[in-house]
Amino acid sequence: MVPLWMFLAVAAALFSIGVFGVLARRNAVAILMSVELMLNAVNINLVAFWRYSETGTDLLLNGYVFTAFVLIVAAAEAAVGLAIIITVYRNRRSVIPEEARALKG
């Protein structure tokens, strides 16, 4: 069996790649995709901890259920995020977050 820390290490690597994408990419769509990577890293952690936790006879479903909720939130986030990106593009002809600064004081 694969030990727990290997799953956690992969999740850490995935999360770091996602952080790099969010910080370094200029395009809003690419940033959104990087956020999805980070969410998935969290999901791997949640499911791995759920699977390896010693529950005894009592069912402990926290990790499992929480992952399902993260998936729901990810779907909602992608829908609203892409709608905002398309609206910003329609108004400003740009998908670079730094250029959408009309509300900056």
CB of residue 104 to other proteins, shortest distance in Å:
17
CB of residue 91 to other proteins, shortest distance in Å:
11
Give the residue with the Cβ less far from other proteins, 57 or 105.
57
8 A C-beta contact, residue 58 and residue 35? no
Site for other proteins in 58-87 (CB under 8 A): 59, 61, 64-65, 67-69, 71-80, 82-87
Tokens 């956020």 correspond to: 35
Sign of the torsion formed by the C-alpha atoms of 101, 99, 38 and 17: negative
What is the spatial distance between Cα 19 and Cα 38, in angstroms, rounded to a whole number?
7
Site for other proteins in 29-48 (CB under 8 A): 29-30, 32-34, 36-37, 40, 43-44, 47-48
